[in-house]
């Protein structure tokens, strides 16, 4: 069966420090991968998605970047965190050939607090 | 751009009762998918139910069912026989149909916080 792992679960980082959040998927190949952010009291905002190794699409300009060094690995990074980067970050995957669409499977999320 | 609106920020229901959560969306697409996700206090996002726009029959999953009104662009979720474990934030989401393997965003509403009371 397919599983998605996301870590760390919680993170407290000072302003200006770097960030690296990792997401890996097991039990499937060639997944589409997504990074979402959930701010307090708001819905989920898509940050990045990837349809293959090295292929990254950014949905919103921001202080963050993403990379996909391996087929089932998706990394969210920042060189210098801002206070506004605080939030709950969710990774998700879907089968690339899932037509009709069956929806995403989400990881358990990372709570990031920038202090 | 597609927008998803959930007009009820908070709702409560007593255990064993039925509750309906509202969702409307705006799109010019003719073929698309609609979803309801549940986010309990653990923050894990769980897919509850999905609906394909070309299907007229409303989707059901055990105690969960939807009322899909395509012309009105409405997609409400009905929870029957509510249980304490149904307490969660519920998100309505929209995705347009894709003809290729390209990635595409799920567009989420802002959510409805549901509290099931004993």
pLDDT > 70 in chain A, percent: 94
- According to DSSP, the residues that pair with A5 across neighbouring strands are A24
- According to DSSP, the residues that pair with A46 across neighbouring strands are A36
The mean pLDDT value for A73-94 works out to 95
Q: Name the pLDDT band for A11 (thresholds 50, 70, 90).
A: very high
The mean pLDDT value for A50-69 works out to 89
Which pLDDT does position A61 carry in this prediction? Answer: 66
Which pLDDT does position B5 carry in this prediction? Answer: 96
The mean pLDDT value for A47-60 works out to 89
Contact (CB<8Å) B95/A101: yes
Which pLDDT does position B99 carry in this prediction? Answer: 62
Which pLDDT does position A29 carry in this prediction? Answer: 87
* Spatial distance between the Cα atoms of B112 and B17, rounded to a whole number of angstroms: 17
CA of A25: how far to CAs of A4, A32, A79, A104, B64, in Å?
4, 10, 25, 12, 28
Q: Residue A66, Cα to own-chain centre: how many angstroms?
A: 8
Interface of A with B (CB under 8 A): 32, 34, 41-44, 46, 49-51, 57, 59, 88, 90, 92, 96-97, 99-106, 108-109, 111
CA distance A14 to chain B (A): 24
Q: How far apart are the first and last CA of chain A?
A: 38
Closest CB from B4, B33, B44 relative to A106 = B44
The mean pLDDT value for A73-101 works out to 88
Dump pLDDT digits (tens) for A15-47: 999 999 999 999 988 899 999 999 876 789 999
Q: What is the mean pLDDT of each run of 10 residues along chain B (118 residues)?
A: 90 98 94 93 91 91 96 97 97 82 80 96
CB atoms within 10 A of CB B1: 6
* B90 within 8 A of B115, measured Cβ to Cβ: no
Q: Residue B26, Cα to own-chain centre: how many angstroms?
A: 15
């Amino acid at each position: 069966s397919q599983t998605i792992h996301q870590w760390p679960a919680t993170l407290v980082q000072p302003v200006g420090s770097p960030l690296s959040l990792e997401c890996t998927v097991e039990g499937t190949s060639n997944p589409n991968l997504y990074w979402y952010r959930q701010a307090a009291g708001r819905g989920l905002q898509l940050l990045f998605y990837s349809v293959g190794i090295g292929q990254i699409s950014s949905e919103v300009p921001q202080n963050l970047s993403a990379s996909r060094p391996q087929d089932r690995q998706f990394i969210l990074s920042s060189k210098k965190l801002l206070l506004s980067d605080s939030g709950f970050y969710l990774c998700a995957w879907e089968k690339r050939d899932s037509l009709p669409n069956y929806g995403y499977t989400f990881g358990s999320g990372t709570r990031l607090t920038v202090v | 751009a597609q927008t998803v609106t959930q007009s009820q920020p908070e709702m409560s229901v007593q255990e064993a009762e039925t509750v309906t959560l509202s969702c409307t969306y705006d799109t010019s697409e003719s073929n698309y998918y609609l979803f309801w996700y549940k986010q309990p206090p653990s923050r894990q996002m769980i897919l509850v139910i999905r609906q394909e726009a070309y299907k007229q029959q409303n989707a059901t999953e055990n105690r969960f069912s939807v009322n899909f009104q395509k012309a009105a662009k409405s997609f409400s979720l009905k929870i029957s026989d509510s249980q304490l474990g149904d307490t969660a934030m519920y998100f309505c989401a929209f995705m347009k149909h894709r003809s290729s393997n390209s990635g595409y965003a799920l567009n989420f509403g802002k959510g409805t916080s549901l509290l099931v009371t004993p």
